[in-house]
Amino acid sequence: MMRTRPLKVALLGCGVVGSEVARIMTTHADDLTARIGAPVELAGVAVRRPDRVREGIDPALVTTDATALVKRGDIDVVVEVIGGIEPARTLITTAFEHGASVVSANKALLAQDGAALHAAADEHGKDLYYEAAVAGAIPLIRPLRESLAGDKINRVMGIVNGTTNFILDKMDSTGAGYQEALDEATALGYAEADPTADVEGFDAAAKAAILAGISFHTRVRLDDVYREGMTEVTAADFASAKEMGCTIKLLAICERAADGASVTARVHPAMIPLSHPLASVRGAYNAVFVESDAAGQLMFYGPGAGGSPTASAVLGDLVAVCRNRIGDATGPGESAYAALPVSPMGDVVTRYHISLDVADKPGVLAQVATVFAEHGVSIDTVRQQGKDGEASLVVVTHRASDAALTGTVEALRKLDTVRGVASIMRVEGE
């Protein structure tokens, strides 16, 4: 039986994503009513600049007083797409206190204060959904916390930032340098005027914290995620990657230790074989590769940003939360029962590609190999090229801990025959 009283929705933010949410709510109103079992009504839109023309939105709904809007008491769902920590955090908790469930796209806030927000939602018997916080339109959060709830997830590895993937793909396909590729990304609207959050890995790190927490039933905060940006990646690194049959991607990697006693979460550039599914992810697209005990290997792929893709994820959550409201129920909340420790980056084991500038004379390779052996790092392959008294030495290791590799590099820098360390890059996906 169709409920006739509409469910009222408050929209916080009406930028690129918020305006698309409002548009879809209007143009797809009949479909949403049929899918939810009740009409949904946009009851208010909180913005910072009320004088801006917003096509399709009744000006009477627009307000600058977001606090008053979430305190109204007749609001069923608050959709938060303003981003940042404050005032978003206070507005969300206030919404719970006044009887509303919340749909959010706020990755930074969830990565920093997800546990407190979940606790507030539970205290008031309300929903907190955030599919749009990670990987845009790609259905990922709900499959991880619902579809795979009966499985054991061991590893999540993915490209979760479209800006960085566009830049690295352009460097790979055209031979462009980092700055040239960044300039093109900016001109096309893929990169912000200040791209720091993307290229230094802050955006991906927030998403990694959310993914790790859900996958491993453990609270993982942004501070727990190792982060390394991609601004130092060069055309020479791509040339070396191609010689290995690899490409380079900025990856978010969340994994359970082999003994199952701890987890790690990290973001950094890495070489991956061209045979790996993530290697073929081009342009500004996102993709996440999941490995679990029962389901095996799964890959989720699609547009990871933009107004319409992100709004699609928001609307999917809105439908689910509205259904819960009608049924007087709530969906899954935080699952942190495992409470596994988050290991430091030094414990992470992987392969490495190291490029050294060395003197071109006898005995150099033997000296370098000795240093690797003394630190317990096994060498897989070595390639040396020399000319006019200078040479480059490229070493690819077997799997070793980050701590062991760090010690190796520090010792190499002390050798008189080593002029410098040109680059160090992890090798993943093998």
Q: Give tens-digit pLDDT for 257-286.
A: 999 999 999 999 999 999 999 999 999 999
Residue with tokens 């994503």: 17
3-state SS record for 348-409: CEEEEEEEEEEECCCCHHHHHHHHHHHCCCCEEEEEEEEECCEEEEEEEECCEEHHHHHHHH
3-state DSSP call for residue 247?
strand
Active site residue 361: no
56 vs 321, residue with greater confidence = 321
Distance CA 134, CA 204 (A): 9
Q: How high is the pLDDT of residue 388?
A: 64
Distance CA 338, CA 106 (A): 25
Q: How high is the pLDDT of residue 265?
A: 98
Supply the DSSP string of 102-151, one letter for each residue. Answer: EEE--HHHHHHHHHHHHHHHHHTT--EE-GGGSSTTS--HHIIIIITTTS
Distance CA 293, CA 153 (A): 7
Q: How high is the pLDDT of residue 390?
A: 76
Q: Look at strands 246-256 and 400-401 and give their pairing.
A: unpaired
Average pLDDT, the chain: 95
Instruction: Give the pLDDT mean for 207-232.
Output: 97
Burial class (CB in 10 A: 0-12, 13-18, 19+), 329: exposed
Helix (H) or strand (E) holding 269, with range, is strand 263-273
Helix (H) or strand (E) holding 91, with range, is helix 88-97
pLDDT of residue 430 exceeding 80, the answer is no
Q: How high is the pLDDT of residue 205?
A: 98
Nearest to 10 by CA among 84, 134, 103: 103
- How confident is residue 402, by pLDDT bands cut at 50, 70 and 90? very high
pLDDT of residue 1 exceeding 60, the answer is no
* Residue 108 neighbours by CB distance under 10 Å: 20
% of the chain residues with pLDDT over 70 = 98
> String of b and e for 171-207 (b: at least 16 CB within 10 Å)?
bbeeebebeebbebbeeeebbeeebebbbbbbbbbbb
Distance CA 154, CA 290 (A): 8
| 69-83, 155-169, 370-384, 386-400: range with lowest mean pLDDT | 386-400
Q: CB within 8 A of 398, min separation 6: which ones? A: 351, 377, 378, 379, 380
- How confident is residue 411, by pLDDT bands cut at 50, 70 and 90? very high
| Active-site annotation holder among 126, 207, 387, 414 | 207
Residue with tokens 């204060």: 113
pTM across the whole model: 0.94
